A and B are shown apart, each in its own frame.
Chain A
Amino acid sequence: MTLLEQFQLWLGSIWPGWAAYIVPAIVGIVVVLGFVLTMVIVFIWYERRLLGRFQVRLGPNRLGPEGIFQPIATAVKILLKEDIVPTKSDKVIHWLAPVIVFVPVLMIFAVVPFGERAILTDLNVGVVYVVAISSISAVGIYMAGWASNNKYGLISALRAVAQMVSYELPVVLAILGVVLMAGSLSMTQIVASQKIPFLLLQPLGFVIFFLGTVAEMNRSPFDLLEADSEIVAGYHIEYSGMKFAMFYLGEYGHALAYSCIIATLFLSGWQGPLLPPIIWLVIKVMAVFFVIVWMRSTLPRLRVDQLMAFAWKGLLPMAIINLFIVAAEVLWLSEITPWLMVAVNFVFAGVLVLLWSKLFTLGGGRVEV
Chain B
Amino acid sequence: MAIRTEPFILNMGPQHPSTHGVLRLRVTLDGEVVTDVELVMGYLHRGIEKLGENRTYAQIIPLTDRLDYVASMTNNFAYVLAVEKLAGIEVPERAEYLRIIMAEMMRIANHLMAVGFFLNDLGAMMTPVLYMWREREKLLDLFEMVCGQRLTYNYMRIGGVSHDIPEEFLPALKRFVAEMPGFIDEYDRLLSQNEVLLARTKGVGILPKDTAINTAASGPVLRASDVKWDIRRADPYSIYDRFDFEIPVGTVGDCYDRYWVRMQEMRQSVRILEQAIAQLPEGEACAKVPQLLRPPVGEVYGHIEAPKGELGFHLVSDNSIAPYRFHIRAPTLINMTALKDMAIGWKVADLIIILGSIDVCLGEIDR
Contact = CB atoms under 8 A, between A and B. Distances in A.
A369 B18 contact: no
Contact of B16 (A232, A296, A303): A232
A220 B345 CA distance: 25
Interface stretch (B125-133, B209-217, B242-250, B320-328): B125-133
B53 interface: no
A303 B345 contact: no
Contact of A367 (B33, B125, B197, B203): B33
A68 interface: no
Contact of A227 (B123, B199, B346): B123
B130 A368 contact: no
Contacts of B32: 155, 304
B130 A57 contact: yes
Interface stretch (A38-46, A80-88, A190-198, A358-366): A358-366
Contacts of B10: 151-152
B155 to A, nearest CB: 28
Contact of A369 (B127, B344, B349): B344
A54 B127 contact: yes
B140 interface: no
Given A220-B125, A228-B17, A369-B33, A306 B199 contact: yes
Interface residues of A, number: 38
B94 to A, nearest CB: 36
B121 interface: yes
Interface string B191-216: 00011110110010000000000000
A298 interface: yes
B17 A221 contact: no
B30 interface: yes
B17 A55 contact: no
B74 interface: no
Nearest to A363: B199
A223 B344 contact: no
B183 to A, nearest CB: 11
B121 A229 contact: yes
A297 B346 CA distance: 26
Interface string A276-302: 000000000000000000001111111
A78 interface: no
B146 interface: no
A272 B228 CA distance: 63
A300 B196 contact: yes
Interface string B21-54: 0000000011111110000000000000000000
A299 B194 contact: yes
B199 A361 contact: yes
Given A56-B134, A151-B10, A155-B32, A369 B196 contact: no
Contacts of A335: none
A54 B18 CA distance: 22
B347 interface: yes
A330 interface: no
Contact of B18 (A155, A229, A361, A362): A229
B258 to A, nearest CB: 15
Nearest to B344: A369
Interface in B89-130: 119-127, 130
A202 B260 CA distance: 39
A56 B127 CA distance: 8
B123 A220 contact: yes
Given A230-B123, A304-B32, 16 more contacts: A51-B125, A55-B127, A55-B130, A56-B130, A232-B16, A297-B127, A300-B123, A300-B124, A302-B199, A303-B350, A304-B349, A306-B199, A365-B203, A366-B346, A367-B33, A367-B346
What 6 A-B pairs have minimum CB-CB distances, sorted nearest first? A301-B123, A300-B122, A362-B199, A366-B345, A55-B130, A300-B124
Interface of B: 8, 10, 16-18, 29-35, 119-127, 130-131, 134, 190, 194-197, 199-200, 203, 344-350, 352
Interface of A: 51, 54-57, 151-152, 155, 158, 220-221, 223-224, 227-232, 296-306, 361-363, 365-369
9 contacts: A55-B130, A220-B123, A224-B349, A300-B197, A300-B200, A301-B124, A302-B200, A303-B199, A362-B196
